Structure 1
């Protein structure tokens, strides 16, 4: 691969549970494979801006062997749309993102893979999953966070596999 650093962003409701878990998981998986990718995360709403990730999310990540850094929740806003692919955790986030960026053809390149849409669901990349969304664990318990983490891992692994293989499974 070349020296270019590719970027992408994960988006959930408040940027304290699902999207920061995805950011940590993706970055560690990409780093372990020595891939030039860097993920960040955002929330649709302003409710938790500046806060760290939910302690339950941090705990589940640590139990799975990840090392989550300090996190500061951010909101995605019109006029401040980050470069690269936007990966939504559920359909409501995808709808909100499409309102922000439009459903235009984007031709976003990550490695040898070109994505036509700017915003997509993360779970589109989870090859063996029949689940299309990562459920919000916020009002649940540690088991709910563990499920969200497992699904996010599947989505991130599938995304990395798709980027590396360059296959066009859209």
Structure 2
């Protein structure tokens, strides 16, 4: 079975203002010149920040690496997302449990832990929200490494030998 012409990924964290917008921004930056179309978005499992931009510390960490998150706005994962994305990647086990619990019976998305899917590492991306600004830099670097590995995997040929 070959991949669809467009690969779609939804990154999910708790409030959609730190980790998931950073992951979406990083992967969008990597895929900006890709020949394979990749739709990349982010969402949260909680309503606290809906409509708001990412945390200023996340924006600053991304800007230090040449990535602009200022256009992002927090949103919650919706039932339709389970059918309209190829992958839904949770940033930690708690979020993953929440995403799986909400999944409708007709979900078609591959749902998994971001670092597990990206790097075969059974590890969370720790939430920097309650920590100092340095935690956002650490988080960004961790997400960037996993996103680079995920992107390389997305570009690998399918088992049938076609790359699209």
Normalising by the smaller structure, the TM-score range is 0.7 to 0.9
| 1:52 matched residue in structure 2 | 53
| 2:92 matched residue in structure 1 | 90
- Which structure carries more strand by proportion? 1
1:94-113 equivalences under 5 Å are 94-101=96-103, 106=108
Question: Which residue of 146, 154, 160 corresponds with 1:163?
Answer: 154
2:130 and 2:40 map into 1 onto residues whose CA distance is: 26
The answer to whether the Cα contact below 8 Å between 2:54 and 2:70 also exists between their aligned partners in 1 is no
Give unmatched runs, 5+ long, in structure 2: 160-164
Decide whether aligned partners of structure 1 residues 77 and 38 sit closer, same or farther in structure 2, where only a CA change above 3 A counts: closer
The answer to whether the Cα contact below 8 Å between 1:25 and 1:153 also exists between their aligned partners in 2 is yes
> Following TM superposition, by how much is the alpha carbon of 1:35 offset from its aligned partner in structure 2, in angstroms?
3.2
User: What is the DSSP-based 3-state SS (H/G/I as helix, E as strand, rest coil) of the residue aligned with 1:75?
Assistant: coil
2:20 and 2:47 map into 1 onto residues whose CA distance is: 14
| 1:153 matched residue in structure 2 | 144
1:119 and 1:3 map into 2 onto residues whose CA distance is: 17
1:79 and 1:4 map into 2 onto residues whose CA distance is: 20
Give unmatched runs, 5+ long, in structure 1: 109-117
Coordinate RMSD, CA, aligned: 2.7
TM-score by length of 1: 0.80
> Following TM superposition, by how much is the alpha carbon of 1:14 offset from its aligned partner in structure 2, in angstroms?
0.3
> Following TM superposition, by how much is the alpha carbon of 1:13 offset from its aligned partner in structure 2, in angstroms?
0.2
Decide whether aligned partners of structure 1 residues 121 and 167 sit closer, same or farther in structure 2, where only a CA change above 3 A counts: farther
Q: Give the number of equivalent residue pairs.
A: 157
Q: Does structure 1 residue 16 correspond to structure 2 residue 17?
A: yes
Higher relative contact order (CA closer than 8 Å, sequence separation 6+): 2
Q: Does structure 1 residue 120 correspond to structure 2 residue 112?
A: yes
